[in-house]
Amino acid sequence: MTEKYLAQPDLDFIAQVRGLGGETLKKCYQCATCSVACPIAPDDSPFPRKEMIAASWGLKDRLVKSADIWLCHQCGDCTDLCPRGAAPGDVLAAVRSVAITEYARPKALANAVNDPTKLPFLIGIPAIWFAFLALITMTAGETMTKIFEFIPFFNWLPHEGEHVIAQADFFSTWFVDLTFVPTAIAVVIIFFLSLKNFLNDIHENAVLEGKTDKTTLDYKEFFQALIRVIPVVFRHDKFNECDSNKDRATPHMMVLYSFIGLFIVTAIFFITLYVFQTPGPYSQLNPVKWLANIAGVALVIGSGLMIKNRLDKKDDQMTTYKDWFILGLVFSLGVTGMLTEMARLAHMEYLSYFLYYLHLIAIFNLFAFLPFSKMAHLVYRLTAMTYAEYSNRK
């Protein structure tokens, strides 16, 4: 027997969804063309028709706690075939933005990331902080050397002998890492707490809607499902099943693999610096530098293509501030990183330092606000896809 559900419409939620890019929501007249057209919707309780109904009724709790909003890859097939121009993909993207804000803490910061009026503060605060670090590095370099010269852990600060252009001489690596390491730990903690609540909610919602008969979440089976899903993500299988925007797959893969490559490079050089006490800059013949340069170029090209795809979107497909915020950051990260390296190799010392300053600001904005921006879909979608695999929804 179907369980009774008392609908409690949230009118503020409807307005929020429409303001985040789902303004076509009310055009939907529930014909189900979108669910039929979607090539990646599960056969069992397919999306996005039921999500469009729930959004129209303002059923915030049911939507925010649903894994299905994350299974949508916003490929645009449903929008192209919708007879009313309701753009279900854009509506689900707006709902995902709401979900990110709901699960992330502190919520005030999540709201700020999606508010264009707060952008000057998001950029200005790290800009002031890194300018302060540069001032300390330049004025206290000699003092730091005297303090740390007897401590093996720090005996590589600062550079001595023949002058080389090294960003550590302008922004102390120690100070920079004291900024980013605690930031990274905070991001991991925020994601852990958010995903813990998210996973419990989507399981509870799936049980309520009859999508799974497993009343208790088996974490061992869930982990096994994760192992099966990761290759699907790496191959971008879901993107390749779409028709309208199949060309999005390649840029997304370039950005994904470039971040993986840059993470590997950062980890290796972090160990090289703090364990083997060998500071940069490193030779361009170093294989790790090859990986860094290839990943950097891929990041610029991939994010550039994603920006081009956004600019080429049809009039009936929405592109909102949250989209441009993350695209701008990713592109800025790649461009400033590559230009910093090029300026250093061209012996343009102060230009290299200035570009590195911009690069640090981009890094901070991208990673410090990762749990609050659209890029959080990396972990939420992976979790949702894993849960779909775990619950055997094909």
Quick check: is 3 in a domain?
Answer: no
Q: Which residue has the tokens 């879901």?
A: 238
Do 361 and 229 share a structural domain? yes
Q: What is the mean pLDDT of residues 101-130?
A: 92
Do 303 and 200 share a structural domain? yes
Question: What pLDDT score does 162 carry?
Answer: 46
pLDDT one-digit tens code per residue, 33-92: 888 888 888 887 888 999 999 998 999 988 999 999 999 888 878 888 888 888 888 899
Q: What is the mean pLDDT of residues 98-104?
A: 92
Q: What is the mean pLDDT of residues 112-140?
A: 89
Q: Could you tell me which residue, 178 or 5, shows the higher pLDDT?
A: 178
Q: What is the mean pLDDT of the chain?
A: 85
Q: Could you tell me which residue, 377 or 277, shows the higher pLDDT?
A: 377
Do 130 and 266 share a structural domain? yes
pLDDT one-digit tens code per residue, 324-364: 999 999 999 999 999 999 998 888 988 999 999 999 999 99
Do 278 and 342 share a structural domain? yes
Q: Are 24 and 87 in contact (CB under 8 A)?
A: yes
- Output the CA–CA distances (angstroms, integers) from residue 352 to 42, 141, 166, 288, 357, in the order listed: 50, 19, 9, 21, 9
Q: Could you tell me which residue, 373 or 168, shows the higher pLDDT?
A: 373
Q: Which residues contact 161 (CB under 8 A, 6 or more apart)?
A: none
- pLDDT band, residue 168 (cuts 50/70/90): confident
Pick the last residue of a domain from 62, 81, 102.
102
Question: What pLDDT score does 164 carry?
Answer: 64
Q: Which residues contact 62 (CB under 8 A, 6 or more apart)?
A: 54, 205
Do 362 and 244 share a structural domain? yes
Quick check: is 6 in a domain?
Answer: no
In the chain, % of residues over pLDDT 90: 41
Do 240 and 269 share a structural domain? yes
pLDDT one-digit tens code per residue, 227-244: 999 998 898 888 777 777
Residue 5 pLDDT more than 70? no
Do 222 and 138 share a structural domain? yes
Quick check: is 107 in a domain?
Answer: no
Pick the last residue of a domain from 36, 71, 102.
102
pLDDT one-digit tens code per residue, 201-229: 999 888 887 777 778 888 899 999 999 99
Quick check: is 328 in a domain?
Answer: yes
- pLDDT band, residue 366 (cuts 50/70/90): very high
Please count the helices (runs of H) and the strands (runs of E) in the chain: 17, 0
Q: Quote the CA–CA distance of 386 and 105 in Å, as a whole number.
A: 23
pTM of the complete model: 0.86
In the chain, % of residues over pLDDT 70: 89
Q: What tokens were used for 17?
A: 């969804």
Q: Are 373 and 322 in contact (CB under 8 A)?
A: yes
Read out DSSP for 4-19? P------HHHHHHHHH
pLDDT one-digit tens code per residue, 281-325: 888 888 999 999 999 999 999 999 999 888 876 555 567 888 899
Residue 394 pLDDT more than 80? no
Q: What tokens were used for 288?
A: 């790790």
Do 126 and 45 share a structural domain? no
Quick check: is 206 in a domain?
Answer: yes
The CA-to-CA distance between both ends of the chain, in Å, stands at 24
Quick check: is 145 in a domain?
Answer: yes
Pick the last residue of a domain from 76, 102, 128.
102
CB atoms inside a 10 Å sphere around CB 123: 16
Task: Please state the domain count of the chain.
Answer: 2
Question: What pLDDT score does 156 carry?
Answer: 44
Structural domain for 45, as ranges: 11-102
Quick check: is 340 in a domain?
Answer: yes
Q: Are 3 and 208 in contact (CB under 8 A)?
A: yes
